[in-house]
Each structure stands twice: as C-alpha cells, then as structure tokens.
Amino acid sequence: MEAVFSGFSVIWLIIGVGFVIGKLGLLPPEARVVLSRVAFFVASPCLLFLTVADASLRDVLGPQFAIAALGAFTTLLIYLLLAKLLLKRRPGSERMIGGMSGSLVNSANLGFPIAAYVLGDVAFAAPIIMFQLALYTPVYVTAMDWLTRDQGTTTKVRPARRTSTLRSLGQSAVNPMIIGAVLGLIFSWQDWHLPGPMHESVELIAGASIPLMLLSFGLSLVGSRPLDKKAGRRRDVLLASSLKLLLHPTLAWVFAAFAFGLEGHQLLAAVVMASLPTAQNVLVSAIRYESGEVIARDTVLVTTILAIPAMIAVSLILM
C-alpha cells in the first residue's frame, strides 16, 4: 500500500508542477499541445516498444486486452440504453459521444504513468492502448459517420462512410503507438534485441514520455470550469462521468474476477486501468463531427479531476 501511495504522490507532484507552470504563465498556452505531441509521436511509442518487446505476447494480447474490450463496449451499450430513456431529445450522435465519454479511457497520457508508478509495470498500459487504437477507434468512427450522415454541416466535408472507415483503419495502422506496439510484439515474438547504443538512445527518449505527459496534463487543468449551467448538458455529463468512474471499473472487476479468474495484482491492474479518466480523443471526435462537444469536454474535465481519487479508492479496496 505504501508503494501505491508513493506512486500517486509522484504523479500528483509532477502534475502540480505543470499546473503551477501554467498558472504562472511560464509557458505559453500552446506549450501543452507541443508537450503532448512530442510525447505522443516520439517518446511514448519508444516507451511502448521497449515495454512490449520485454513482455510476453500473452501479457499484451491476453486477458487484460479482453477485459478492456468487454468493459468498454458494455459501458457504451449501457450508456446508450440509459440515454434513450433519460435523454430522449438528444440526437443519436450526442448519445454516442456520451457513451464514448463513459467508456474510452485516457490510456496514453495517464495510462503509462499510472501503470509505471502505481502498478509497477508499464506493460499493463499496453493491452488497453492496443484495444482502443486497433479496435475501438474504427468502431466509433463508423458509428459517428452513420449517425451524422444527414448532418448538413459535416456531410459536405466528410468522405463517404466506406472511405472514412477505411481511412480510420489506415490511420490506426500508421498511428505511432500502434507502430511501436507492433514492432515490440515482433521483437518479443522473435526474441530480437536492439544493438546496445541504439537501445540506449531509444530508452533515453522513452524516459521523457511520462514527465512530458504529466506536465501537459497539469497545464490542461489551468482555467478548467466544467458543468456550466448555460450549456444545458449537465445530465449528460453527470451520467457519462458516473459510468466512467463507477460502472466501468465495476464491470472490469466483474469480468476480471469471474470471467477470467484474475486475482491479486492482475485484478488490481484491470480495475485501475478501467478507472482512468475519459480520453481526449472523445473531444477531438466531438469537434470533428460537430456534435456533443460540451458533453465530451466537460466529461473529460470532471473525470480527469476525480479519477485519481477514484483510483486510490480502488487500490484501498482491492489491496
């Protein structure tokens, strides 16, 4: 338990440094984007490659991958059912954004740090990253294309559904995270190793990933004011946030403990990974499809603020 609290302390301290930097104006507003892009396109793929290369294939594509998929899709379906009953006047695309907000986790920006400092192994973040990029992304892109097919503001600039789906699959294939993970899988399968100097270079770049992501995360908290009454989407945000912080981790526990028989640290890892806050990708999709932007933005902010306390509670219960 001491190690868990120590891990959370490290994470909060670095997030706090990012927040203070942003609050004092030591970096311009666009610095958050720069830090995030360096982490996403350069440092994190290196970290994912090294992590997967040193792990077994079962660790990456085994029970944790299946639990991530089952938990996310079940949460999505439950949100859509509840929204149909409680939020009847919302268009289908907004309900889909709400469902994504309750089930798509921030596996990169917070997944790596939590896996490293709380669970003690970055490899626990790999299965959920693989699932979301390779499987969930094409699914929700196809769904949003279909749900907004008659939306005049987007149909003129958006390609046909088949083209968009194929493009989504193509983008997933060349996503730097997927490339890093696939190369890692190949190296693990073949038991290959990088030459000494090259390995050290990749390892050095990978070491920048977690600090960059946490500093960027801290910067993003400056000026955050979710749940604005004027936006008229409080119920949507509260429903999505409740499912993300409560239902999603509970489902992960049910699937992990009873369907796959996981215990101890493996069970804790499955539930903690499901407790991560809503992914920024949901907001990106909402902006792209011009639907549910308030729901996505506010759910990201609410779950981001409450996720770490929720994960501490999960750790206390399961340890």
- Please count the other Cβ atoms lying within 10 Å of the Cβ belonging to residue 204: 11
Q: What is the pLDDT of residue 301?
A: 85
* CA pair distance 83, 197, nearest whole angstrom: 54
Single out the residue of 302, 249, 290 nearest to residue 67, CA to CA: 249
Q: What is the pLDDT of residue 239?
A: 96
pLDDT bucket at 256, cuts 50 / 70 / 90: very high
Which stretch, 11-15, 79-83, 118-122, has highest mean pLDDT?
79-83
Single out the residue of 295, 274, 280 nearest to residue 83, CA to CA: 295
Q: What is the pLDDT of residue 156?
A: 45
Average pLDDT for 271-296: 87
Q: What is the pLDDT of residue 157?
A: 46
Average pLDDT for 21-44: 87
Q: What is the pLDDT of residue 164?
A: 58
* CA pair distance 247, 186, nearest whole angstrom: 35
Average pLDDT for 222-247: 85
Q: What pTM was computed for the model?
A: 0.79
CA 199, distance to chain mean position in Å, is 27
The CA-based dihedral angle spanning residues 1, 61, 255, 313, taken in that order and rounded to the nearest 10 degrees: 20
Which stretch, 7-11, 59-63, 172-176, 238-242, has highest mean pLDDT?
238-242
pLDDT bucket at 272, cuts 50 / 70 / 90: very high
* CA pair distance 157, 74, nearest whole angstrom: 32
* CA pair distance 294, 276, nearest whole angstrom: 20
Q: What is the pLDDT of residue 28?
A: 87
Q: What is the pLDDT of residues 126-135, one digit of tens each?
A: 899 888 877 8
* CA pair distance 60, 56, nearest whole angstrom: 7
Q: What is the pLDDT of residue 273?
A: 94
pLDDT bucket at 108, cuts 50 / 70 / 90: confident
Q: What is the pLDDT of residues 33-73, one digit of tens each?
A: 888 888 878 988 898 888 888 877 777 888 999 999 999 99
Helix, strand or coil for residue 127?
A: helix
Q: What is the pLDDT of residue 198?
A: 94
What phi and psi, each to the nearest 5 degrees, are found at residue 100? -65, -40
Burial of 261 (0-12, 13-18, 19+ CB in 10 A): exposed
In the chain, the domains with their CATH numbers are: 2-318 (1.20.1530)
